[in-house]
Amino acid sequence: MTVPHARPIGAQHPRVRDLLTVRKDASPGRIMVEGSWEHDRLLATNTTIEAFFWCPEAGTPYAARRIAERAAEVYQISEKLLGRLSRRTRSDGLISIARLPVWKPQSFRFTTSSLVLVADGVEYAGNLGTLIRTVDAANADCLVLTSRRARPSHPSVYSASRGTILSTPVLEFDDIASAAAWLRGHDFRVHLADPAAGGSYRGVDYDGPTAFVVGSEGSGLSKEWHTQGFGAVSIPMLGQADSLNVALSAGILLFEARARKDGW
């Protein structure tokens, strides 16, 4: 069986080289999507699919036809070429280049129930994706990135976020001062997550727009965040470990604030 309008191409085709660029996270604003559930999530949004690559030997025609209906360009590739393009040991032959949504800081409007997570210095794509998924799960308004090293366009972000990178607003600021000013301008109460802080996250007021700032796994929060005049909170460590994984910490903080705001 075939997929309508699927054009057979080889390894030297410009779109194949384009896909390899996206696969290497060298094309900001676009992301590689591979796999069945990943495409189910993609099709559930209005995300632009620039190109779809299908391998008949590995992919099901039904799934491929659904994706092909949405894609601007549709290509058929060989099993050998699939092996070169795929990031998986066993692929189901469904790969797309998708355009990430663009979010503008000035377009946001907040209420007293608003909740924002700021991630400073994120180093790993897997952590970034998990933070995005956590923001979605806690019904927070957006994720703000400062001093980030991992990019939202890395393919691992898609899988770690369970595809919520397509629907969860992610904002990036050029410097910490700009992000802090944006939060102040919207009257946020900002809490820095710091294991050394004396006060517990359970003992603060979550009335009004609330933001938490978490740091990287290796070095924690940038010093500049501590110069912005915001208070710090900690999650009490009851065992021998001195801190938690950044995504787990973010989840505890966000869900505590969400529960307080929504009266759980």
Query: What is the SS3 assignment for 18-83?
Result: HHHHHHCCCCCCEEEEECHHHHHHHHCCCCCEEEEEECCCCCCHHHHHHHHHHCCEEEECCHHHHH
Q: Looking at residues 141-152, what average pLDDT do you find?
A: 95
Which tens digit of pLDDT belongs to each residue from 152-190?
999 999 999 999 999 999 999 999 999 999 999 999 999
Average pLDDT along the chain = 94
Q: Looking at residues 102-127, what average pLDDT do you find?
A: 96
Q: What is the pLDDT of residue 69?
A: 94
Cα separation, 7 vs 3, whole angstroms: 9
N-terminal to C-terminal alpha carbon distance within the chain: 52
Q: What is the pLDDT of residue 38?
A: 96
Which tens digit of pLDDT belongs to each residue from 29-61?
999 999 999 999 999 999 999 999 999 998 777
Q: What is the pLDDT of residue 1?
A: 57
Cα maximum dimension of the chain: 65
Q: Looking at residues 111-121, what average pLDDT do you find?
A: 97
Beta strands in the chain (DSSP E): 7-8, 30-34, 49-54, 73-76, 94-99, 115-120, 142-146, 170-172, 189-193, 210-214, 231-233
Structural domains of the chain ordered from first start? 7-99 (3.30.1330.30), 105-262 (3.40.1280.10)
**Which residue type is seen at 175?**
D
Q: Write out the two tokens for 235.
A: 């999650």
Query: Which contacts qualify for 36-41: CB closer than 8 Å, 24 or more apart?
Result: 36/63, 36/92, 36/94, 37/163, 38/94, 38/158, 38/159, 38/163, 39/63, 39/66, 39/67, 39/94, 39/96, 41/162, 41/163, 41/166
Cα separation, 128 vs 148, whole angstroms: 9
Q: What is the pLDDT of residue 133?
A: 98
Cα distances (Å, whole numbers) of residue 187 to 45, 103, 115, 184: 31, 20, 12, 5
Cα separation, 31 vs 24, whole angstroms: 10
Confidence at 89, pLDDT banded by 50, 70, 90: confident
Determine contact, residues 222/213, Cβ cutoff 8 Å: no
Q: What is the pLDDT of residue 212?
A: 98
Which tens digit of pLDDT belongs to each residue from 215-257?
987 778 999 999 999 999 999 888 887 778 899 999 999 999 9
Determine contact, residues 144/110, Cβ cutoff 8 Å: no
Q: What is the pLDDT of residue 83?
A: 94
Q: What is the pLDDT of residue 61?
A: 77
Determine contact, residues 91/32, Cβ cutoff 8 Å: no
Confidence at 77, pLDDT banded by 50, 70, 90: very high
Confidence at 197, pLDDT banded by 50, 70, 90: confident
Q: What is the pLDDT of residue 84?
A: 95
Q: Tell me, what DSSP letter sits at residue 101?
A: P
